[in-house]
Amino acid sequence: MSFLKSAKSIVPLLDRVLVQRVKAEAKTASGLYLPEKNVEKLNQATVLAVGPGFTNAQGEKVTPSVEVGDKVLIPQFGGSTIKLNKDDEVILFRDSEILAKIQE
């Protein structure tokens, strides 16, 4: 299996959005470290790249609703997972599949 060198080599097309899931803390409040398999995957992600959008049936340009750097809420399942190396992965979603933008 070959891996991509970095997320920068992936350029989303149409209304696709490339995100990286925020990693959960592997350490408890009391200072204990949790095994990797016990650490939950969070539904929060950071937007790494955004496609240019698409043209709808009426000929209007529809641009994605998120921008690079936005924090978003993603579904637990879905999207296309892309392995970057043994430990890192990114996920490609359609703009309409992203659940919410997180305002901080």
CATH code, domain carrying 77? 2.30.33.40
In a domain, 1, yes or no: no
pLDDT computed for residue 32 by the predictor: 66
**Residues 54-99 pLDDT 10s:** 988 999 998 999 999 999 999 988 898 888 877 788 999 999 999 9
Contacts of 69 (CB under 8 A, 6+ apart): 46, 47
Q: Is residue 20 part of a domain?
A: yes
Q: Are 66 and 50 in contact (CB under 8 A)?
A: yes
pLDDT score for 10:
83
- Domain membership of residue 15 (yes or no) is yes
Q: For residue 75, what are the domain limits?
A: 7-101
Q: Which of 104, 102, 13 is nearest to 50 (CA)?
A: 13
Report if residue 2 sits inside a domain: no
Query: Does 7 or 3 have the greater pLDDT score?
Result: 7
d(CA 89, CA 91): 7
Task: Tell me how many domains the chain contains.
Answer: 1
pLDDT, one tens digit per residue, over 6-61 is 667 788 889 999 999 887 666 666 666 656 655 556 688 999 999 998 988 999 99
All residues at 6 or more sequence positions from 59 whose CB lies less than 8 Å from its CB, including other chains: none
Q: Is residue 84 part of a domain?
A: yes
- pLDDT band (50, 70, 90) for residue 1: very low
pLDDT for the residue 87:
74
